[in-house]
């Protein structure tokens, strides 16, 4: 995939439907590179006022660099949009508050929060350190919680003052969590946690006019480079199903004022959007009274053979 292919294709497409997010204020985390960058560029093209958050760290979460966020802001502004950078760590309680406060102070409101920031510390379970586990949990789960918590506090106060609005949170889960992927117990556990977090947050925040959804994006980024090695790439002038720009339009749709969708999780990849069904009961054994172990040995062993299918479009390709 050619460099910056997504940026040009996104802006070209957005120019035909300018203004889908006009006047809406959006915070997008991890927006300096990859999928988050494409979100920010499209949101800017569609008229949103964007706070581009990115600590600028390495894929494993180490280090910091202000230039990625600033570069995205410059692109948006140069194209006629409105954006400002933010370099806070979203997993830091006070940093997340500063991020939300910056949006409100700069633009007077907050309508959209896209939680996208993430890192990887892949390791087989028997070799994983507690530091590798905690680092991933901190950025993904804690990072989603901190920003959403401070945004929710602002929206609750707005609601109390009679200033209800159609707000939207879009969280970032992953097929690695929803389908499972070897070598990513930390990442997968965090990502399926984000999907559940999104469903519960949607139920709690609906009273304030807030919709919460989650996406599981699949695209070629720094975090997925290891999985893409050796795979054939389309010619430079052709659309690529792995382009991170493919993810942004559905996220922008979820962020629009009149979108009716809430409490759902979607797999988004290439030109496809798949709706997930959360855990569902598919078989049962039952008796009136206390089971014995021997009874369960006879009645429950068949659970091992109950067929179910995750309908994973990437089966055999992940890892």
Q: CA dist 246 to 97, 118, 177, 188, 312, Å?
A: 30, 19, 21, 22, 19
Q: Of the candidates 177, 176, 173, 169, which has an alpha carbon nearest to the alpha carbon of residue 146?
A: 169
Whether 243 contacts 8, CB under 8 Å: no
Angle at CA of residue 145, ends 144 and 151, nearest 5°: 95
Question: What distance in Å separates the CA atoms of residue 196 and residue 69, rounded to the nearest whole number?
Answer: 29
Pick the catalytic residue: 107, 187, 208, 253? 187
Strands (E) located in the chain: 25-28, 49-53, 82-86, 112-114, 167-172, 210-218, 265-269, 272-275
Q: Does the annotation mark 87 as catalytic?
A: no
Whether 165 contacts 110, CB under 8 Å: no
* Catalytic (active-site) positions: 187
């Amino acid at each position: 995939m050619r460099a910056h292919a997504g940026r040009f294709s996104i802006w070209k497409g957005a120019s035909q439907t300018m203004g889908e997010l006009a006047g809406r204020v959006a915070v997008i985390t991890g927006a300096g590179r990859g999928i988050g960058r494409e979100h920010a560029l499209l949101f800017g093209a569609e008229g949103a006022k964007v706070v581009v958050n990115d600590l600028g760290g390495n894929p494993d979460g180490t280090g910091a660099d202000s230039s990625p966020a600033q570069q995205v802001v410059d692109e948006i502004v140069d194209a006629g949009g409105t954006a400002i950078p933010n370099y806070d760590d979203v997993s830091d309680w006070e940093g997340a508050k500063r991020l939300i406060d910056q949006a409100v102070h700069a633009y007077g409101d907050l309508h959209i929060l896209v939680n996208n920031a993430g890192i990887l510390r892949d390791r087989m379970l028997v070799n994983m350190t507690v530091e590798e586990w905690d680092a991933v949990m901190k950025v993904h789960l804690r990072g989603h919680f901190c920003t959403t918590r401070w945004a929710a506090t602002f929206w609750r106060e707005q609601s109390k003052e009679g200033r209800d609005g159609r707000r939207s949170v879009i969280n970032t889960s992953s097929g690695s969590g929803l389908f499972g992927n070897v070598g990513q117990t930390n990442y997968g556990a965090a990502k399926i946690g984000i999907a559940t977090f999104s469903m519960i947050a949607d139920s709690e925040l609906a009273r304030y006019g807030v919709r919460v959804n989650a996406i599981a994006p699949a695209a070629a980024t720094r975090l997925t480079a290891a999985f893409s090695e050796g795979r054939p790439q389309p010619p430079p002038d052709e659309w690529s199903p792995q382009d991170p720009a493919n993810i942004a339009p559905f996220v922008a749709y979820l962020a629009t004022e009149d979108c009716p969708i809430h409490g759902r999780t979607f797999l988004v990849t290439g030109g496809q959007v798949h709706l997930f069904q959360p855990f569902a009961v598919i078989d049962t054994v039952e008796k009136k009274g206390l089971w014995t172990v021997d009874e369960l040995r006879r009645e429950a062993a068949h659970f091992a053979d109950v067929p179910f299918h995750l309908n994973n479009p990437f089966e055999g390709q992940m890892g």
